[in-house]
Amino acid sequence: MLLLTKYYSQAIETRRLIHKNPELSFEEFNTAKLIMQKLDGLGIPYKTNVGGNGIVATLKSGDYKKKVIALRADFDALPIYEETGLEFKSVNNGVMHACGHDIHTSSLLAVAGVLQERKEEWEGTIYFVFQHAEELIPGGAKLMLDADLFGSLQPEYIIAQHVDPDLKVGEFGFKSGKYMASNDEVYLNITGKGGHGAMPHKFNDTVLSASQLINNLQQISSRLVPAAIPMVLSFGLFLAKGATNIIPNEVKIAGTFRTFDESWRKQAHEHIKRISKSTAESYNTECEVEIRKGYPVVVNDAFLYQTAKELAVQRYGAKNVVELDYRMTSEDFAYFSNQYKSLFYRLGVGHKNDADNFPLHSSKFNPDESALEYSITFMTELAIEIIHK
């Protein structure tokens, strides 16, 4: 208990420091320095600049090749103006830890400290992966893997957790198999000869073409996708720089495509291209299509799922363990789950009063940081449990 109290208080302090000084993806230089300082204080060796700002720390005990696992946390922030009113709110205007990465990182640092002091209880190697740039394609996970972050001693399993404001503090969520969707960015550029809005017969109406294009693309989700495959195709940007009486020469559209099936993912890309070009042509306009392929599907290993769920039930009771459904959001942890047996589970950070809870990526997102006690304890116990199996 004294050990947990020591690292819990340190985690609170670290979390608030990270939260106050957030940095965007690929710009997390000072956050990386802070992580290194904390690891230096713990006396845990690490390597830096792994695929960018990534850091990999390593603990070994006894026969270090006997069992090798990895634990991962991300540490980048989002381009959001914080509106929480916290004493330690962001001092970097327009940048905020609105996805809980400050919780993830401070927790993993504490877990590293606890596991180091409990080395007599386990034998093997534990990697602590502090990953940059989760929020931005191509994703820090992919870049760290491309940089061979583990070297010759590869882990058998890799585990990560993510905060969830829909779960109360003390609750955990798990799902076996496919869990989070792939994520691709779709960019459409419709061009033609614009003109005066009062004389549409003399030009190509790019705005009408673009509007019809968005409608036509919805047939992919309503008619073309196999019924058993979840998918989302949403457009959040429609930019036509005209005026009340001016139809512009160009309209830009951007959106997101998400699904759970790699074969269908490829087919859908072709449908997007085909429908976009044919629709534009029917209005005497042209459409340039760019699809930026993002993260793959997050897949949870059945053994890790069962082990973690049973441990959570044992420690916190069945009423505090939730079976998760498919989630259409995406995570670059998927790159790890496509290469190693992995587990990505949810940590409850919701306040008792629902009025205090806001969703991820909200400018008012304010997780109950008392969840760090559960975060540190559970990940520590889960790591030891898996090493013993």
* Model pLDDT, residue 4: 74
Report in angstroms the alpha-carbon separations of 133 from 71, 279, 299.
17, 36, 20
| List 134, 135, 332, 373, catalytic entry | 134
State whether 328 and 257 are in the same domain: no
State whether 52 and 154 are in the same domain: yes
State whether 95 and 218 are in the same domain: no
State whether 19 and 151 are in the same domain: yes
* Model pLDDT, residue 2: 60
| List 23, 28, 76, 332, catalytic entry | 76
Closest CA to 187 of 262, 263, 250: 250
d(CA 248, CA 245): 10
Closest CA to 105 of 218, 11, 6: 11
Whether 368 is catalytic = no
What's the domain range around 250?
Answer: 184-293
d(CA 180, CA 325): 9
Q: Tokens 């053994």 identify what position?
A: 303
Instruction: Among 233, 266, 293, give the residue marking a domain's end.
Output: 293
State whether 217 and 270 are in the same domain: yes
Question: Residue 296 pairs with which residues in a beta bridge?
Answer: none
> How does pLDDT run across 130-167, given as a tens digit for each residue?
999 999 999 999 999 999 999 999 999 999 999 999 99
* Model pLDDT, residue 323: 98
State whether 284 and 337 are in the same domain: no
Beta-carbon count within 10 A of 21 CB: 18
- Percent of the chain exceeding pLDDT 90 equals 97
User: 61, 122 in Cβ contact below 8 A?
Assistant: yes
d(CA 79, CA 200): 40
226: pLDDT strictly greater than 90: yes
Whether 74 is catalytic = no
371-388 helix and 302-316 helix, angle to the nearest 10 degrees: 130
φ and ψ at residue 108, rounded to 5 degrees: -65, -35
* Model pLDDT, residue 271: 98
| Cα radius of gyration (the chain) | 23
State whether 145 and 134 are in the same domain: yes
99: pLDDT strictly greater than 70: yes
Domain containing 150 — which CATH number? 3.40.630.10
The two three-digit tokens of residue 189, written as one number = 């550029």
* Model pLDDT, residue 389: 86
State whether 138 and 241 are in the same domain: no
State whether 22 and 165 are in the same domain: yes
pLDDT class for 291, splitting at 50, 70, 90?
very high
> How does pLDDT run across 18-73, given as a tens digit for each residue?
999 999 999 999 999 999 999 999 999 999 999 999 999 999 999 999 999 999 99
Instruction: Among 293, 318, 344, give the residue marking a domain's end.
Output: 293
pTM for the whole structure: 0.94
pLDDT class for 5, splitting at 50, 70, 90?
confident
State whether 171 and 131 are in the same domain: yes
State whether 176 and 263 are in the same domain: no
Domain containing 267 — which CATH number? 3.30.70.360
- How many folded domains does the chain comprise? 2
Instruction: Among 249, 276, 293, give the residue marking a domain's end.
Output: 293
Beta-carbon count within 10 A of 246 CB: 14
